[in-house]
């Protein structure tokens, strides 16, 4: 039972570790992959070991800290664009709300207020993503 549970959990742990690999410095990526290889070996997951060893070889051959910084900078730029788009959507929703208020249409006002609230929530998410990307970039730059 324990082995089944552990075997079911391991892929999620491995995925969560590699999900952040794009914003880690190269030494951290190598270390994380080596740790994942050891874990996969402990559980006899030979396919996972081979895949991780291939990933490790790629990282060792191609990863540069300067490249990681560039990738993180691109990610920050993408997140900034996402924030700008979300801000535009909030402005548009607020304009529709003002129009509904000018017409004094209670049904449309309610619907427009819900839209504004939804767009503001999405904007907050995008801003959180941006702050996270900026923190990753700052960590890479030291």
pLDDT in tens, 25-45: 899 999 999 999 999 999 999
Distance CA 26, CA 13 (A): 20
Last residue of a domain, one of 31, 62, 93: 62
The pLDDT score that the predictor gives to residue 25 is 87
CA 71 – CA 11 distance, rounded (Å): 25
| 70 in Cβ contact with 36 (< 8 Å) | no
pLDDT tens-digit profile of 120-134? Answer: 999 999 999 999 999
Asked whether residue 118 falls in the same domain as residue 94, the answer is yes
What pLDDT does residue 4 have?
52
- Average pLDDT of the residues of the chain: 88
Residue-number span of the structural domain to which 40 is assigned: 2-62
Domain identity same for 134 and 105: yes
Does 74 share its domain with 136? yes
Residue 56 shares a structural domain with residue 94? no
Count other C-beta atoms under 10 Å from residue 118's C-beta.
13
pTM of the model: 0.70
Task: Examine the pLDDT at 15 and tell me if it is beyond 70.
Answer: no
Indicate whether 69 and 105 sit together in one domain: yes
């Amino acid at each position: 039972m324990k082995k089944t549970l552990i075997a079911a959990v391991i892929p999620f742990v491995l995925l969560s570790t590699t999900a952040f690999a794009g914003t880690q410095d190269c030494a951290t990526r190598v270390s994380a992959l080596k740790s994942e290889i050891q874990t996969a070996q402990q559980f006899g997951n030979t396919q996972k070991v081979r895949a991780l060893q291939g990933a490790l070889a790629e990282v060792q051959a191609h990863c540069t800290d300067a490249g990681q910084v560039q990738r993180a900078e691109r990610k920050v730029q993408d997140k900034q664009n996402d924030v700008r788009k979300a801000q535009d959507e909030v402005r548009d929703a607020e304009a529709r709300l003002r129009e509904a208020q000018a017409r004094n249409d209670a049904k449309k006002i309610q619907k427009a207020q819900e839209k504004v609230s939804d767009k503001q929530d999405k904007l907050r998410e995008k801003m959180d993503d941006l702050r996270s990307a900026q923190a990753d970039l700052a960590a890479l730059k030291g």
